[in-house]
Amino acid sequence: MSKKTVITYGTFDLFHVGHVRLLKRLSELGDKLIVGISSDSFNELKGKKSFFSYEERAEIVKSCQYVDDVFPENNWEQKPSDIKKYEADIFAMGDDWVGKFDFLKEQCEVIYLPRTEDVSTTHIKKTLSSLPRVG
């Protein structure tokens, strides 16, 4: 039986239980999970600002027991070459991206998984920004 490699992407800022549960489900799709993490410069291009730097986010995600390796995502266009480079059999993302990456079906299986309900980095950031300042 051949081993399957799963590849996914994300910012993974303010690492939370939703991230852990998604990575666990992704890891169950294959034998190896590789995660592309948005670089700081790519986030800037997307108009996003992470609380933690790329290096810190990569260290956090790499420490998760479900993740075998991480690498920087520097642009939208690199996915096809990453699939080839890492010999990915499955490309998987959260279901808020349904249809956006179907063009990758020419290279590998594409799967969209449901997000963990009621938890998101955006929600956490909004909640934290609404709290009164201490000090």
Q: Tens digit of pLDDT for each residue in 83-103?
A: 999 999 999 998 889 999 999
- Is residue 86 in some structural domain? yes
pLDDT in tens, 22-76: 999 999 999 999 999 999 999 999 998 888 999 999 999 999 999 999 999 999 9
Does 1 score more than 70 pLDDT?
no
Does some domain include residue 99? Answer: yes
3-state secondary structure of 46: coil
135 in a structural domain: no
- Identify the CA nearest to 4 among candidates 66, 80, 87: 87
Domain membership flag for residue 84: yes
What percent of the chain is modeled with pLDDT above 90? 70
Number of domains comprising the chain = 1
Considering the candidates 32, 46, 84, 85, report the single residue annotated as catalytic.
46
Closest CA to 69 of 32, 117, 110, 34: 34
Residue 85 falls in the annotated catalytic set: no
Question: Residue 70 domain-assigned?
Answer: yes
- Mean pLDDT, all residues of the chain: 90
Query: Is 49 noted as a catalytic residue in this protein?
Result: no
Does residue 115 lie in a domain region?
Answer: yes
Which two tokens mark 38? 């948005």
Helix, strand counts (H, E) of the chain? 5, 5
User: In terms of residue numbers, what domain contains 56?
Assistant: 5-130
63, part of any domain? yes
